[in-house]
Amino acid sequence: MRRHVTRRHVTAAVTGALALTLGLTACGTESGSGGGNGDTLTVGATPTPAGEVLTYIKKNLAKKKGLDLQITEFTDYVTPNTALQEGSLDANLYQHVPYLEDFNKSKKTELTPVTEVYLPPMGVYAKKAKDVTELPAGATVAVPNDTTNEGRALELLASKGVIGLKKGAGANATPEDITSNPKKLTIKPLEPAQLPRSLEDVEAAVINNNYALDAKLNPKKDAILLESPKDNPYNNVLAVKKGDENDPRVKKLAELLTSPEVKQFIEDKYKGSVLPVETS
């Protein structure tokens, strides 16, 4: 059965920075209908893992459901939401609920989650250190510069005690909320897409899963610290414009995204680097 999001759960990765370039569609180049043309559904996604998951569905499952799935890929976290709000997309898959809620608040959009799909665990990566506790004193650690993922990155560092955070700071934590910093780490916020490249210039970087995979990093093997799936609020969700939750096309895609076939695809392809959401 499909599990709907009813509280502050999540997706993938995210940034409030300026949009980068809109990519080509992964499977066809039709523009979205923003309300629909028959059973054609245009979905925006980042290439990895969302685009790959959707491509699997398009090639193997959608036709049997009578769904004409069109996939448009984006290289940033802002444009897929603005396109969804404006109606050139019918849905998107790439973000978690804290980011979606923050985006709605800051951009005055009306987007809503439909169902959780997978957890793309955020990780800490380094060229030299094998464990986050091995980072040298004075090390520079790059983190995502958007509101929710910056806090998420700081929470991950705090989970191993390399920094301490003000009680209750949570996903909205900023460097100003750091209460202890025994290694005197320098926290350097960067555009999320730049984080993999920053590893040439910093001692460590906290990288969103999709950008790590795009950079050929293996989160399960290469991360020196990886988020735990237990009670994790950052599951990626299928999102639509408010009022479209019951669109039959959206319901078909939601069912496919949480199907046993897609769960098996995620497990086989990502081997623990992306984790399918457990459904009841």
**Does residue 19 surpass a pLDDT of 50?**
no
pLDDT band at 230 (very low <50, low <70, confident <90, very high): confident
Evaluate whether residue 60 is within a structural domain: yes
Evaluate whether residue 2 is within a structural domain: no
pTM reported for the whole predicted model:
0.76
The whole-angstrom separation of Cα 254 and Cα 4 is 9
pLDDT band at 16 (very low <50, low <70, confident <90, very high): very low
Evaluate whether residue 3 is within a structural domain: no
Note the pLDDT tens digit of each residue in 101-115: 999 999 999 999 999
Q: 55: domain range? A: 22-121+232-276
Cβ partners under 8 Å of residue 198, min gap 6:
142, 188, 190, 205
The whole-angstrom separation of Cα 192 and Cα 65 is 36
Note the pLDDT tens digit of each residue in 253-271: 999 999 999 999 999 999 9
Are 78 and 52 contained in the same domain? yes
Evaluate whether residue 180 is within a structural domain: yes
Note the pLDDT tens digit of each residue in 124-179: 999 999 999 999 999 999 999 988 899 999 999 999 999 999 999 988 899 999 99
Are 30 and 165 contained in the same domain? no
Are 193 and 102 contained in the same domain? no
DSSP H helices, the chain, are 52-60, 79-86, 97-107, 147-158, 195-198, 209-214, 219-222, 248-257, 260-270
Evaluate whether residue 5 is within a structural domain: no
Are 131 and 215 contained in the same domain? yes
Give me the number of domains the chain comprises: 2
